[in-house]
Structure 1
Amino acid sequence: MRGTPLTERLRSSSPEAASAPDGASGESALRRLNRWRRPPFDNPELWCLRLRADDLDEKSLLALLGEPADALARRLGQPAWAARLQHAMAGPPYADGDGTNDVLLPEVDGHSPYLARAAWPLLDDARGRLRAVLERLAGEATPAPFRPGELLEQVYAPLPWVVQGMLSRTLALELHLAGMRGELPDGTSEERFAAFLDALSKPSRQWTLLRDYPVLARQLATAVDQWLVNSRVLAERIVSDAEAIRNRFASGSEIGCVAEVVTGVGDRHRGGQAVAKVRWESGLVLVYKPRSLRVDEHFADLLEWLNAAGLRLPMRTLTHLDCGGHGWVEFVRAEPCADEAAVRRFYHRQGVLLALLELLRANDSHAENLIAAGDQPVLVDVETVLQPVLPPGDARSTEAERAAEEAAAASVLQVGLLPATAWPTRDGKAVDLSGLGYRPGQRTSVGLPVLTGVGTDRMRVRLERMPLNMPDNRPVAKDAELNLLDYTDDLIAGYTELHVLCRAHKDRLAADDGPLAAFGDDHVRVLLRSTMTYGTLLRTGFHPDVLRDGLDRDRHFDFLWRQVTDTPALGACVPAERADLWRNDIPYFSSRPGRTTLFDSDDRPVPGIELGSALERVRQDLAGRDDEHLDGQLRLIRGSLATVAINATDDLEFPEYPLPDQGDRVPAADLLVAAQKVGDQLAREAFRRKGSAQWLGLGSQAGRNWSLGPLRPDVFNGLSGVALFLATLGAMTGERRHTDLARDTVATVRAQLDRGLITVPAGMAGLPGVVYAFCRLSALLDDGSLVDEAEAIAASLLGTAEHDTRYDMVGGSAGTIAALRALHAVRPEGPAATVIAEAAHRLVESAERHPLGAGWVPAWMREDGLANVPLAGFGHGTAGIAFALAEAAALLGERRYAAMCHEALGYERGLFDPEIGDWRDVRTLAADRTGICAWCHGAVGVGLGRLAIRTGPLADDPEVDAEIAASIATTRRAGFGRSHSLCHGDFGSLDLLLTASSVLCRPDLRDEAARRTAGILGSMKTNGWMCGVPFGLSTPSLMVGLSGIGYGLLRAADPGGVPSVLTLQAGKPLISSVGVVGR
């Protein structure tokens, strides 16, 4: 009885359930209640909401937690699933206790689901019952629509594997315990496993297992029952729909018996229902879908309407047979394009499809839903078109964030076709599942449970990043090379064509009798959370810790409440989500495009949620389409495509351009005017509401997994960096509009930090970078509270360095040291020194020794095959780490940090190539290259690091001056004309000259920097601002975007008053030698 979930236990109002437990059971119940009250339920308001969702109070929950099993059994009686188990175990050959080893377990690739033996009575009983149904159905129809025996084996094949997945964690634990208890016989590891497996075939052992894990027993019975019901329903529909199928798909011709059925395609919803593929003897192949296909039919009708309206390249439509609650659709075979012209037609049509899906407010158009059928991209699942307007999201978001999110949700970004990273983790792993961006060779970003050591007594469940199957979304062979960026123009041409066509026919499209109106009462699926979230909860819901009592599993599923604090409307959906998870389903919600009601998987309205009509919003969007909308969407498309280049390799190519002849020195006032133009452009692009600001732009997760969307709070590519530029601009010009926008930006940063939107605990791109920005902004905005907040963030970093595997400036301990210096300068008694010491210790203990010294390889680079040995350079390499160790040594007086800095310098010096005057790029992708001359990699960053070291405890190193000279010479020769960015562009190179002129007391370098600045300013007049991303696209950020370009102009105008952000200089009160401009 302990296998029953909370909702089933609440169906009785017996006094026993309401009485408080006492004694040992009372103490146990109180411990379990306190465990349930852990975060997020340490929030009293959320805890009350959660209790009210089940009409509970704390006292009644405590009573349920302490209710004895016998009392529970008396109160509820025997549940149906338990009766099913008893029935299955009571039949021969199980009733006599002998069991059987004659278990039918289908093999896949030479492997068999051995562990399913533990549930064999259930499997055998269900097979027998389905066999009887199939024989009856085949006997009643003339001619027979299928051969019962063949169909039985085909639909049965996936079931033991499903059952093994449910059993694996528990049986791995039981095998381990059996070994510890001495229950396995002597012999080899394989023999001991065989004995364990043999025991699983005995009814006595099966009963013991199911009694010890009653939740597992319930879920196994549920899964097998669902398989039986859904298999029977599929067979019945094959029979009942036979004539309609022949007429619709075969022009009335005979199609013969069913030859093959593949079940369980995709996720399971609504009682274990899933898509199936059916092939008849005639060769006809159809896809069976256990839902209404009205929305699919209306989508096909709309495509036909657009074809007739004048599309240059007609779009393929699919043939459907809607049978009410289910239907059949033609199977789309993937075929590569015959030639390059066909590939270009394919991507033109992809652009058309993107524009249409954006108009229809579609999402979830991921790679598995897209088939490349020659030059036709075919969307094979359109159930997520016409998404309703959901209630407001994160209640703690600023008004500007909501505005930006609404704009993104109504844009091409929401469709799911454009490249975008998904499942990001703290260590920077992510995947791209999009219809356009999915690439070969990807693995899941999170570990999935995998059985290892199967066949031995060392069998365990281990989490591994598993290879992802390559779908059929690309118009070339699966192993063929394809560069999506080569087809940017085709994609944009297709998008533009449909945009213009819809504008020309918007009145006809939106009319009451137009093609859009037909969707009004269709069933569309609504995605409230990611399938990954649900799938992870289901998988971890079969951990043995939550299989002994249904209330423990309910507590596990209450993870769903974590997001309710941010998105209150989700609270009304949790009961329906939990009910679906208890049915082993991915939760399912739906709506009707012309209505405002949300429905659960049983088609019942979800109380407390009112949606915005999708159809009404589509009509509004269609009416508002203009050239400005088109330009904005094309920018988003290009920006999204740029992330393909950034994420696919660490070897980026950027637009190059000749710098104009170096002219005379540009007056500082002119540089400030140029910087103000950047600030004004940022203001135009901002979403600004009620004292907050936000932008859409290119962002990353600790410098990796770039995607296009609302900016995050980091300084590297996020809002803190934008605020730092704007605040500096306001301080130097006296223009309040820039300062006010900086304050509004900080307001959004604060809100995002409150929500934990950045969790990376190391590096310039993580929380330490925000500490640096807040310390700088505190002085610029005259806001002392920012230092308090920086100190609180620093305190949260204590103890985190020991987990760092990145090490570098961008995302690792080196960046932590550099960033925390700013806080230590103003709060030396606070946590900054300890955080710096922990980060430096991590670098010392994790260094790899090499013949010439020591270095570090970020774990992600090694895992992704980008580097096997430590790199040179500042952003990701040894120069930045050596610099950080030197700073830690100077700050804390620790000789071992200085000694490790010397070792790092020794290693990096071994990479210097005097023939090219630069440090060799030893990334695996750069075997035949000299690399780039930039801050992140190459001479610019090395030079900046050595200049900082020269002023510290290692100033007497005789080789540093020679390295500085080499870096300056290489930067002069190869460091300009790549982009205007700080990270790998002109202003990063200029920063080296400005820093060197100050540290080395070299006025000639200051003069050269002035002339270089004139050339950069001239290139801006010719080419515009060129950000450090592929195609020179515009993005607001500091290191690669507009804010960095503006900051570079300010530093060029007043290098003595504007600190270098490339080495995270702490700075000082801004006393500009320039004067105030533009008051």
Structure 2
Amino acid sequence: MEKNMLVYAMSSRERLEILSSHYNDYKEDNVSKWLSRRSLCTEELFELSLKEQKISREKFNLAIKTLDENDIMALNKANKKKNWYQKAMEIFGDEYLYLKEPEIIDFAYAFRPFLNYMKNEMEKVELADFTISENAGFLIHLAEEFVQIASKTLVYDLHEQKKKYEFEGKTSKERFVYYMKKRFGSKASIINFYEEYPVLLRLLTERVLFHVDNYKQFIKAIQQSLPELRDKFSIMEPYQVTEISVGAGDSHGRGKTVVLFNLNGQEFVFKYKDLEIGERFNKFLDYLEKRIGKKFYKIKRITNEKYCIEEFISNRECKTEDEIIKYYHRFGEYVALAYLLCGNDFHYENVIAHGEFPVLIDIETLIQNDSPIKRADNPYVKLSEKKYSSVLSTALLPFKAYENRIEPLAEGEVKGKGINISAFDGSKQKSPYKGLSLINENTDQVKFQYTEFELNGSNNIPILNGAEVNAEQYKSEVVKGFEDICQYFCKNTDEIISVIEDIFSNVVVRNVIKTTQKYVDMIWYGYHPKCMRDYLEREKLFENLWAFEYKNKSAILPEIKDLLLDDVPIFFNNTSSCDLITSDKLIIPNYYQKTAIERVKERILKFDEKEYKYQKLRLELSLGIYKMQKEPLKLGATIDEAVKNIVDIIYRRASFDKARKFIAFEDFLYELDGTLDYDALKIELYDGLSGVYLFILYYAQNNTSPQVEILKYALEKSIFKMPKKKEKNYIISAYDGKYSVLYPLYHKYKLEKKEEDLELAENLLADIAEEVNQNTRADWVNGVSALIQVLLGYYELTKRKHFLDKAEMLSEIWDKEKIVLCGFAHGFSGVIYAAYSLYRATGNEKYFDRVERYLELENKCFDGEVWKDLRKGKKSVSYWCHGTIGIGLTRLYLLKNGFDNDQVRADLLNCVDNVINMEFEEPGICHGNMGRFLFLKEVQNSEMISVATRKKINVLLSSMVKNILDNGIKINSFDKKCVLGLMTGITGIGYGLLGEIESSIPNILSLDR
């Protein structure tokens, strides 16, 4: 192996060590070229990276120079002295290896010199006092790891070789075997391959050396621990290790992972780390058992400074229903303990259902320090941080992860769905996005392709009578267990803090400063063939990490060092220290502002009744069992007073940045999947910032005060801005996503005539045609219909035809998605409304035809009194969204604008009669009395309604207003904070009442212009 290509496996620092002695006054500018390449690392961050590496810009400029012949000669001479290079020579030196041919030839054929070396080195390790019946687990793990590292390069190389010459063989499999034999069959050919991909050679060589060393450490640890294994687990001689399985975890610290093994019939887990924290946690559980009579399962383990051996915790079946109840009660206790002890990362793989006991099998992430991520002075960010530092941070409770992956969506999935990786429910689930997978393996058509996949279930669901139980019916027990621990902590704060300080001080824990998935993604990107040809390409890729928003970026260099070795970076912290410890035990001093034990003490001291209620809210929302509670709210004796008080409520609920430039609100909202959450409001019109702004915009027309000005300004700064270029909009709707600002922006432009507002609207819409996709919906709220109505408003106001063109483009979705429901928000009526508006704007008969067709389809669902709600398990209602208010709104619009039809008249009368005689519990617009009020106001002066009915409506409207003023409303609230949103909250009440004062305010039910 003498070719000079192997110098490209040298790092920039290694190159610099040699080149610096050959160049005194190097002038060519390589750094500018380096910085001009696409990267998240700005020049400022690049300079910071050089400072952290203790290298000057001039020296780095030399290190990355294009190598000439003299450079290569000098570097090659130095490279040959490197340990990995010499070991590679040794690994490929076994001539006998190339004479043997395996029965099956797959990608592992390319690694047989490395596997052979590993096997030989393992055989050299002498065993004392115990035997191993089968140690192939280490070899299997090595082969699987090498396939993962090299598969991108092998696929690329196969197809490159196909371009150069014709593969022999009648079948695709035969041609694959031909390629593998030709490329890897002889010593000369396999060396030639790795000379073309020198970084791959270095990486595989370094990794096999790690694995050999780890095997030796494992054997030594077993030997050293035999006396303790005998005493603690009653294991008697002769000792025999069997059933070794390697790789039950990520690779950290030079290839170290989890090893499962069997010793004399007992199963164990071996970890290459000190887990003293596990013993400390057991001690704390002992304390709780004595003080409050609880019973926990405590893992038996042997700890050492370099390793830990634990009993294997199996997914053991429960014997009775009572054991299931106890399991979930204890699960709730663990939620409280994990939160109060500042623990995280207890996801679905880290909890085992062991009979009546949930067992935390990876306890190393207790007593965690503060997040190292730098947070902007932004109220939205602060509210999000509050949410995700709650009980949700433990990962024990259901939550969505990986919501914004860049991979293609799986069939029928929508952006933002995410995956549930919590320990509460580890059942098998389909991934909402596709994964890059090898297809056509072991053929000459092998390639990577995005395919749908499922995530395997875990072992955290209790089993009864041979079947996994349904956790739904036991959620209340989780809450009870949570309450028990929280109440004990609240009543015994001083004692608890003293005990925690005594038990958990001065112990090393793992720190998760970045999600493992982010690291895994970077490692996967680093397998690109380009990165396997030149080490500088891997350095350039991992340079992107400098853009990550850490408060202290000193951890980035150790991260990159680990990634270059193909390890997931890992960090540690002594709970009584502010320092961070790297994978190779280097100290980053004063990484944190306070110690982890101080953080735990602060959390417990602040855990009062108010904080308990908030964490319980998070728990119940996550479990999907929280029931919103209605609280009475007096608004005022007059309409003016009531509206002003609502504005005051909104102002008091606002969170601002220091400059009061941006605004956010914490409130109840429904996610795309229909689940209720309590979160920072997004920009949405339906129940978000855009809806609040629309109300404040019209209120501010005739009501000025410092509060109103601050609200209006901060809302405008928060919602009227272009999204970042990297963001892709997957929601085409006037109520949700980035287009939800268009309706309030239309009214701002209409009232204030600022050209910048119209320009923003046009910029927002610039890429809408490209953003329409297979998941774009047709209905009013979740789809294009309301947005079409908004675009027609812009067209009517500005006479700019591109607004009309975009509206017509969006109408094509009506041909692609079948409408199957009745009603306005999600059914026929909403599309009818928008289609008739398009007909009026264009005169195109196809829109008129759709109106007639959908009227006929919707009326097939009329049962003589109301239109059926075709949703599963739903009854007919009178709401704006799914019932007679919305249907009547559409019929009224048709009749007012020339669609004179007896059936439509009859429909309207049926709707009006139903709405008059129906009263709701909810006060809001979408499902409540304000929606009823606004609809009847629209009908109030219609000639289609009899005089008697109009009188009845007038009386009813007056009565509704009087009732609000005299008695107030009952509205969903938490901790005396009512729901805010436009369509379901207090903003909608204010908007409706404001319409009684300001005649110019548009009807929100149909996004009036």
Please report the TM-score for the alignment, with normalisation by the length of structure 1: 0.80
Change (3 A) 1:509 1:878: same
| Alignment partner, residue 109 of structure 1 | none
Change (3 A) 1:748 1:842: closer
Any residues of structure 2 matched to 1:392-791 within 5 Å, and which? 393-395=374-376, 397-398=377-378, 400-401=379-380, 403-405=382-384, 407-408=386-387, 410-425=389-404, 427-435=414-422, 438=425, 440-476=427-463, 484=471, 486-511=473-498, 514-563=499-548, 567-569=549-551, 571-606=553-588, 609-642=591-624, 670=638, 682-683=650-651, 685-690=653-658, 691=660, 692-698=662-668, 708-726=678-696, 737=707, 740-749=710-719, 759-760=729-730, 762-763=732-733, 764-776=735-747, 787=757, 790-791=760-761
Match of 1:163 among 146, 161, 168: 146
**Cα offset, 1:501, TM superposition:** 0.8
Letter in 2 for 1:1064: L
Letter in 1 for 2:603: D
Any residues of structure 2 matched to 1:123-142 within 5 Å, and which? 123-133=115-125, 136-137=126-127, 141-142=128-129
* 1:345 lines up with 2:291 in the alignment: no
2:295, 2:22 → 1: CA distance?
69
Deviation larger for 179-188 or 699-708: 699-708
3-state SS of paired residue (1:269): coil
1:529, 1:607 → 2: CA distance?
19
Letter in 2 for 1:202: G
**Cα offset, 1:176, TM superposition:** 2.9
Match of 1:2 among 5, 8, 25: 8
Q: Work out whether residues 431 and 442 of structure 1, in 8 Å CA contact, stay in contact via their aligned partners in 2.
A: no
Any residues of structure 2 matched to 1:5-16 within 5 Å, and which? 5-12=11-18, 14=20
Any residues of structure 2 matched to 1:71-220 within 5 Å, and which? 71-72=71-72, 74-75=74-75, 76-78=78-80, 79-94=82-97, 98=98, 100-102=100-102, 114-133=106-125, 136-137=126-127, 141-142=128-129, 144-147=130-133, 150-151=134-135, 153-185=136-168, 187-203=170-186, 204-220=188-204
2:169, 2:32 → 1: CA distance?
41
**Cα offset, 1:265, TM superposition:** 0.7
Cα deviation, 1:242-279, whole Å, max 9, x if unaligned, reads 111222233x6558412222211122211121122222
Q: Work out whether residues 855 and 907 of structure 1, in 8 Å CA contact, stay in contact via their aligned partners in 2.
A: no
Deviation larger for 979-988 or 118-127: 979-988
| Alignment partner, residue 4 of structure 2 | none
**Cα offset, 1:424, TM superposition:** 0.9
Letter in 2 for 1:241: S
2:457, 2:465 → 1: CA distance?
7
Change (3 A) 1:1049 1:100: farther
Cα deviation, 1:665-685, whole Å, max 9, x if unaligned, reads x99965665566655555555
**Cα offset, 1:766, TM superposition:** 0.8
* 1:801 lines up with 2:748 in the alignment: no
3-state SS of paired residue (1:368): coil
Cα deviation, 1:489-547, whole Å, max 9, x if unaligned, reads 33332222212211222212222xx2333322222222222222111121222122432
Letter in 2 for 1:171: L
Cα deviation, 1:958-997, whole Å, max 9, x if unaligned, reads 7655555565566668x86474454445544554444444
* 1:1046 lines up with 2:989 in the alignment: yes
* 1:308 lines up with 2:290 in the alignment: yes
Deviation larger for 84-93 or 955-964: 955-964
Cα deviation, 1:341-397, whole Å, max 9, x if unaligned, reads 4333333222222222221122212122122223322222122222212456233x3
Change (3 A) 1:320 1:1036: farther
| Alignment partner, residue 910 of structure 1 | 857
Deviation larger for 500-509 or 749-758: 749-758
Change (3 A) 1:750 1:468: same
Letter in 2 for 1:600: T
Change (3 A) 1:403 1:752: farther
3-state SS of paired residue (1:192): helix
Cα deviation, 1:451-504, whole Å, max 9, x if unaligned, reads 112243322211234211111223346996866554443333222221221122
Q: Work out whether residues 274 and 290 of structure 1, in 8 Å CA contact, stay in contact via their aligned partners in 2.
A: yes
Q: Work out whether residues 835 and 850 of structure 2, in 8 Å CA contact, stay in contact via their aligned partners in 1.
A: no
1:348, 1:1012 → 2: CA distance?
51
Cα deviation, 1:734-785, whole Å, max 9, x if unaligned, reads 66545534544555557996798895563221111123334446788x7959
* 1:320 lines up with 2:301 in the alignment: yes
1:478, 1:1043 → 2: CA distance?
50
Gap runs ≥5 in structure 1? 106-112, 646-653, 660-665, 848-853, 858-868, 1067-1079
Q: Work out whether residues 420 and 437 of structure 1, in 8 Å CA contact, stay in contact via their aligned partners in 2.
A: no
Q: Work out whether residues 330 and 481 of structure 2, in 8 Å CA contact, stay in contact via their aligned partners in 1.
A: yes
Change (3 A) 1:695 1:176: same
Q: Work out whether residues 350 and 491 of structure 1, in 8 Å CA contact, stay in contact via their aligned partners in 2.
A: yes
3-state SS of paired residue (2:436): strand
**Cα offset, 1:732, TM superposition:** 7.3
Cα deviation, 1:905-936, whole Å, max 9, x if unaligned, reads 6257435413376666667xx3x766766555
1:751, 1:305 → 2: CA distance?
55
Q: Work out whether residues 261 and 279 of structure 1, in 8 Å CA contact, stay in contact via their aligned partners in 2.
A: yes
Q: Work out whether residues 715 and 721 of structure 1, in 8 Å CA contact, stay in contact via their aligned partners in 2.
A: yes
3-state SS of paired residue (1:612): coil
1:538, 1:938 → 2: CA distance?
53
Q: Work out whether residues 979 and 1032 of structure 1, in 8 Å CA contact, stay in contact via their aligned partners in 2.
A: no
Change (3 A) 1:794 1:454: same
2:888, 2:532 → 1: CA distance?
59
3-state SS of paired residue (2:247): strand
Gap runs ≥5 in structure 2? 1-6, 406-413
Q: Work out whether residues 193 and 457 of structure 1, in 8 Å CA contact, stay in contact via their aligned partners in 2.
A: yes
Change (3 A) 1:1005 1:331: farther
Letter in 1 for 2:87: R
2:924, 2:427 → 1: CA distance?
31
2:986, 2:23 → 1: CA distance?
62
2:976, 2:824 → 1: CA distance?
24
Change (3 A) 1:963 1:178: farther
Q: Work out whether residues 730 and 737 of structure 1, in 8 Å CA contact, stay in contact via their aligned partners in 2.
A: no
Letter in 1 for 2:123: R
Deviation larger for 752-761 or 188-197: 752-761
Letter in 1 for 2:363: V
Q: Work out whether residues 369 and 435 of structure 1, in 8 Å CA contact, stay in contact via their aligned partners in 2.
A: no
**Cα offset, 1:91, TM superposition:** 0.7
Cα deviation, 1:142-181, whole Å, max 9, x if unaligned, reads 3x2423xx12x12222332222222222222333334444
Any residues of structure 2 matched to 1:24-63 within 5 Å, and which? 33=34, 36=37, 38-41=38-41, 43-55=42-54, 63=62
2:708, 2:790 → 1: CA distance?
25
User: Root-mean-square deviation (CA), in Å?
Assistant: 4.3
3-state SS of paired residue (2:326): helix
Q: Work out whether residues 355 and 462 of structure 2, in 8 Å CA contact, stay in contact via their aligned partners in 1.
A: yes
Change (3 A) 1:188 1:416: same
**Cα offset, 1:328, TM superposition:** 1.9
Please report the TM-score for the alignment, with normalisation by the length of structure 2: 0.85
Change (3 A) 1:821 1:1005: farther
